Amino acid sequence: MEIYAVIQGLLDQVKQVGLIAAEDEVYARNRILDILNVNSFESPVYAVEATIPDLLEMLEDFAVKKGLIKNLLDEKEMFASKIMNVFMPRPSDLNRMFWDRYKSDPQQATTFFYDMSQNSNYIQTKRIAQNISYTVDTAYGELDITINLSKPEKDPKEIALEKEMKSLQATNYPKCLLCVENEGYEGRIGHPARANHRLIRLQLEEEAWFLQYSPYVYYNEHCILLSGAHRDMKINKDTFLRLLAFIKQFPHYFAGSNADLPIVGGSILSHDHYQGGNYEFAMAKAGEELSFTMKDFSAVEAAIIKWPMSVIRLKSTQTAELAEAGAYILDKWISYSDSQVGVKAYSGDTRHNTITPIARYRNGKYELDLVLRNNRTSEEHPLGIFHPHDDVHHIKKENIGLIEVMGLAVLPARLKSELEEVENYLLGKEHDMPDYHLPWAQDIHARYGQDLASEAVHDIVKKEVGLKFLRVLEDAGVFKRDPKGQEAFRKFVYSL
């Protein structure tokens, strides 16, 4: 009888959030019974009251005990995704519902799709809630800090099985995690479950594009825009036009792209895609430091903004000229070198300069932020000259992509326990702090001294992590914030 109570609890929850209507209950129940290999149902005396993610875990446990699936993360996720797909509309029906709402209000349409993506467990709300998130005040505004605890770790046996399965599977379908063919895909060991995954169809500059939300959102309505074609990412005028076209359709969102070169680019450069959402990052709030004009773009306002990385902000009411101005700056930057500050455009035929662009609509004008990037390496900095340097690797070693550029640190899960040990060290308690944190911890101790009381040390460490992330952004800036770097930045601007 317990399994009936769990099933009824899930049915009650999905009705409550509007995934199905009362008329759908019997049908949905029978589909779930089939997936569970249960051939009867008795109305329970009570329904289990729990969240949808918790109820799905109960059904996963039942399936494992019954031998329907193995006790492996990937198999359990495929099973849960298949269950939730019972309650999902077909893509054509979902798109009709979305665009019907869009006619009244674009924000109403995205709220509807975002809520569905959460309620269907496609967005992993329970896991995301485990993240540690806070803000730190700096000279550049409030930076967002997130210690990413949402993605579950696989045990060594499952990792070994994943490698074995990849060697045995001769399929490249879907080609990557962003291809449209993931919509409704059951998944497999090593490829995430997507049975409950849905996409909104868009047209951007007469091309087929698709809108989805990130399964592990880092900010409000964290969405992904993906090209219908599986092609490499490339930053050019068409990129700017597409980003602005999306903002025209959804003016309450921003949209941006990772850069298109290794080191300064995102994790997936093999599929053209952007990210966006309904969130205002610290970089968007940054003030202007130096305004300038470009003679061939009279309808475009331009300025250097106050930010640890090197950013030019363009504004205009005319998106076509805004994109042209962005392309002009990109072309100039691609070939630009300044040996005085270590900026080198090419090594032989290898290009180093590119841009991370972000578009938004604000105060009646379209804005295009162009973050100048360079991916050159050296003997001293083998991971990248304009990349987090060695002395910040204990906090952040990974590439600085679009989200970090805008002021949100996505930090590794190891820091949760490691920072607790840093606090123990600072309080003079027994600790197991990794050695790579020692210089930083000693510096904190020297600066704060008597203020390191037990009730204050946690907030101090949080603040110092934020300041380390600020250093990360400064390392990634091509023109440093010192007088020499800012003079070099102005020199580039004058060349425009």
Q: pLDDT tens for residues 341-397?
A: 999 999 999 999 999 999 999 999 999 999 999 999 999 999 999 999 999 999 999
d(CA 295, CA 15): 59
What are the distances in angstroms from CA 446 to CA 155, 450, 460, 490?
A: 40, 9, 13, 37
Q: Give the pair of three-digit tokens for residue 14.
A: 């999905």
State the Cα angle at 149 between 466 and 17, rounded to 5°: 115
Residue 80: exposed, middle, or buried by beta-carbon count in 10 A (0-12, 13-18, 19+)? buried
User: Which among 319, 478, 481, 308 has a CA at the least distance from the CA of 406?
Assistant: 308
Model pLDDT, residue 292: 96
Phi, psi values for residue 438, rounded to 5°? -60, -50
Q: Which residue has the tokens 């202007």?
A: 288
Alpha helices in 228-372 (DSSP H): 237-249, 282-285, 319-334
Q: Phi/psi class of residue 173: alpha, beta or left (left: φ > 0; alpha: ψ in -120 to 50)?
A: beta
Q: Identify whether the C-beta of residue 134 lies closer than 8 Å to the C-beta of residue 143.
A: no
What does the alpha-carbon distance between residue 46 and residue 197 come to, in Å, rounded to a whole number? 31
DSSP secondary structure string, 306-340?
S-SS-EEEEEES-HHHHHHHHHHHHHHHHT--BGG
Low-confidence stretches of the chain (pLDDT < 50) are none
Structural domains in the chain, CATH included, are 2-104 (no CATH), 128-408+483-494 (3.30.428), 416-471 (no CATH)
Query: Which DSSP string do the residues of 388-441 spell out, in sequence order?
Result: --GGGTTT--S---HHHHTTEEEE-TTHHHHHHHHHHHHTT------GGGHHHH
Write the single-letter amino acid at 273. H
Long-range contacts of 170-177 (CB under 8 A, 24+ apart): 175/230, 175/271, 176/230, 176/268, 176/270, 176/271, 177/268, 177/271
Model confidence pLDDT, tens digit, residues 95-108: 999 999 999 999 99
Burial class (CB in 10 A: 0-12, 13-18, 19+), 137: exposed
pLDDT of residue 38: 96
pTM of the complete model: 0.94
Could you give the CA distance from residue 419 to residue 149 in angstroms, rounded to a whole number?
14
Residue type, 400: I
In angstroms, the CA 29 to CA 26 distance is: 5
